[in-house]
Amino acid sequence: MAVGLGDLPKMHPVAGFELGIASAGIKAVGRRDVVVMRCAEGSSVAGVYTQNAFCAAPVILCKQRMQSAPRYLVVNTGNANAATGDLGLQAANAVCQQLADLVGCPLQQVLPFSTGVIGEQLPVEKITAALPAALADLREDNWALAAEGIMTTDTLPKGASVQFQHGEVTLTVTGISKGAGMIRPNMATMLGYIATDAAVSQEVLQNILHDAANKSFNRITIDGDTSTNDSCILVATGQAAVATITEPQGELYEALREAINQVAMQLAQAIVRDGEGATKFVTVQVHGGAHQQECLDVAYAVAHSPLIKTALFASDPNWGRIVAAIGYAGIKDLDTEQVNVYLDDVCIVAHGGRAQAYTEEQGAAVMQQAEILIRIELERGSCHETIWTTDLSHEYVRINAEYRS
Amino acid sequence: MAVGLGDLPKMHPVAGFELGIASAGIKAVGRRDVVVMRCAEGSSVAGVYTQNAFCAAPVILCKQRMQSAPRYLVVNTGNANAATGDLGLQAANAVCQQLADLVGCPLQQVLPFSTGVIGEQLPVEKITAALPAALADLREDNWALAAEGIMTTDTLPKGASVQFQHGEVTLTVTGISKGAGMIRPNMATMLGYIATDAAVSQEVLQNILHDAANKSFNRITIDGDTSTNDSCILVATGQAAVATITEPQGELYEALREAINQVAMQLAQAIVRDGEGATKFVTVQVHGGAHQQECLDVAYAVAHSPLIKTALFASDPNWGRIVAAIGYAGIKDLDTEQVNVYLDDVCIVAHGGRAQAYTEEQGAAVMQQAEILIRIELERGSCHETIWTTDLSHEYVRINAEYRS
């Protein structure tokens, strides 16, 4: 029941980045649940990872290997290999080692990724048995199947792809993501893979990814839960005939950064649109904060309130629940009489109370929409923040009450 | 579908504290939705209130009047008189003034309380029209009807009553509460009224209430939403033949404090047991924290996680979701290998991973129970905290998606 999420856009291949998909049958026989990605030699690879203290075994290994010029990524769904202790690390390594042996590269150049149930040991043999088929399947135009291969409770594959010109050269940025539940700032059960054929030094690439994630993946929330496995990887293969970007400046740098931001934003919003049980895509904007953090505190208080989320599900313009959430967001010395709230263009709260011209019909009309903007003005300063979230539906409860069965 | 909450216990009357109930028909004709309480002259009255910045008009007035030796409390359900601006203050005052006129006391001695929908103006005339009937109904043995009179989405009335001996004198502490939704620390859409016939100075009484609330009402959470209207009042009528307590010490002080804590705890737990859509009563204990706050941070991360709450609803011992929540609670330098988690007596996580002896059947057996203890050991220090919460069910979504209709 994804909100405003259609078929994948045209997924432009990225020279030097290949994807292969195979079936390991981890949760269901025949399901294509293993994806291998190969980066051309000389690629730069950047990564951002979950801040959960219980980060999963593959995340621990990925972080260790970012400076080892990674060449291969291997992803499995159905099992998160999280909270699995030393055995989990050994299992992730065993998968990596098998892949390294098959392709003849050092273990340190293989990055593992897992998503699925937490706390069960990784079925290593099932995964390694699928690696030859995944390698045989490696192709630059395999993005769409890979987008399906990394899905868990997602209902639709998620992808984004943009191209831009630099002189006579057409550059490409293409990416895929998966999400659906356990989504909140600081990454989520969210996996994202973005590749470009531009050439970028590892340090600059890491900064671009960090900024892009902060504007996209770190501004979405479905249920407030932060997963143990979130990872987002950005690869620059350097196959396009342009100079290597080694400094965060210049026309090419700016154009590339903009393209990557755009892809990251589309991938992040796609995760929200396909949030577990989502029937609404909700943008929460907070303006006029004294600083960035208080804008985020208010935005997340609103986005995480089960009472607001159920009202959104019910298309009920229950603005009282919104002001209550603003009130408990912990803003120091909040002058409630300065607070205004809009649903799209309809002012529902002015100066801390129900707006005089507001009618329930106006609010109800906005709430009927599948996409809703909640705009909050604090009138305390000039900072603003935007996050994206969903409603809380019967379907969310059903999915998460039944997930392991 | 309250969990382990039966009929009201025997509600011992408190000499000098009378309650009267009447019907104002605020939301439904015939519903007894107005309660008046009268404190004998010379009573001490203490109060604790919501910390929501958008606190409701009646809360603003109550706070102003705590030092005016309040004699009357007037409660309405069906309308919270919150986010109603100056008109809301005038409306609350109009109700108080009418009551003051009827009984011949100063306006400042009347405390107003409202609970219900936020952001609609209080139907003053309906409420004032019901005041004579409420006053005519004032009786010391009216606790049970008053417990019903303050209900909103509660499915059962909530009361607690204890007696203890001091020398030859039997002292009484009796209280009622309402809650059900928008419940979290720092009070909730929670109203509580506790009275004793002991004699206590206002200052000591305020401290007793503050401590009692911190161990009870401020340790419960249903949906993480903090209401605009939470109020808890403690009245000491001084009608018992014992000396006035003016210092926080002595046998009588200790016995009274213990009795008040016990009543507050029962009232708070009753609110959780009757949480909106609750099918489980869940105690979350965090031991071995370096300080109190980190114990609370972990406990609330677990208690607020929609993924854990839906797993509780499904009776699914999904311990992976529990360690994930511990991991994102923001504990600085958490050594995950020290973390142990128990469901009742079953160790499910040892040293940060699935406990070796643990079987899914053991966890499932605990999760089938209506009352579940989640015990978390951090092994970082000697602090511990306990909070109480519920699961997240289809019924919660239904109630909150339909509440205003």
Contact of B313 with chain A, judged by CB distance below 8 Å, is answered with yes
Contact of A404 with chain B, judged by CB distance below 8 Å, is answered with yes
Runs of H (alpha helix) within A169-318 = 202-215, 251-273, 292-304, 306-313
Q: How confident is the model at residue B1 (pLDDT cuts 50, 70, 90)?
A: low
Cα torsion A163, A164, A168, A170 to 10°: value is -20
What are the structural domains of chain B?
17-273 (3.60.70.12), 281-402 (3.10.20.340)
Taking only residues 138 to 177 of chain A, the set having a beta carbon closer than 8 angstroms to any beta carbon of chain B reads: none
The helix (run of H) or strand (run of E) holding residue B294 is helix B292-304
Strands (E), A24-137: 34-39, 44-49, 72-79, 110-117
Contact of B336 with chain A, judged by CB distance below 8 Å, is answered with yes
Verify whether residue B226 is a known catalytic residue.
no
Beta carbons of A295 and A384 less than 8 angstroms apart:
yes
Q: For B122-138, give one letter per residue: b (16+ CB within 10 A) or e.
A: bbbebbbbbbebbbebb
Alpha-carbon distance values, B153 to B8, B27, B30, B179, B181 (Å): 17, 12, 17, 8, 7
Taking only residues 3 to 42 of chain A, the set having a beta carbon closer than 8 angstroms to any beta carbon of chain B reads: none
Q: Do A327 and B394 touch (CB under 8 A)?
A: no
pLDDT values of chain A reduced to their tens digit, one per residue, 405 residues: 688 888 999 999 999 999 999 999 998 888 899 999 999 999 999 999 988 888 899 999 999 999 999 999 999 998 989 888 889 999 999 999 999 999 999 999 999 999 988 788 999 999 999 999 999 999 999 999 999 999 987 889 999 999 999 999 999 999 999 986 544 433 346 899 999 999 999 999 999 999 999 899 888 876 656 677 889 999 999 999 999 999 999 999 999 999 999 999 999 999 889 887 889 999 999 999 999 999 999 999 999 888 888 888 888 888 888 988 998 888 989 999 999 999 999 999 999 888 989 998 999 999 999 999 999 999 999 999 999 998 888 877 777 776 553
Q: Do B53 and A326 touch (CB under 8 A)?
A: yes
d(CA B271, CA B253): 27
For residue range B162-186, list pLDDT tens digits in order: 999 999 999 999 999 998 654 443 3
| CB within 8 Å of B148: residues ≥ 6 apart | B21, B32, B157
Q: Which member of A82, A224, A305 has the closest CB to residue B320?
A: A82
Contact of A51 with chain B, judged by CB distance below 8 Å, is answered with yes
Give the active site residue among B84, B115, B172, B189. B189
Q: Do B53 and A336 touch (CB under 8 A)?
A: yes
d(CA A195, CA A37): 11
Contact of B354 with chain A, judged by CB distance below 8 Å, is answered with yes
Beta carbons of B341 and A118 less than 8 angstroms apart:
no
At position B385, the amino acid (one-letter code) is E
Average pLDDT, chain A: 91
d(CA B295, CA A155): 37
ipTM score for this prediction: 0.70
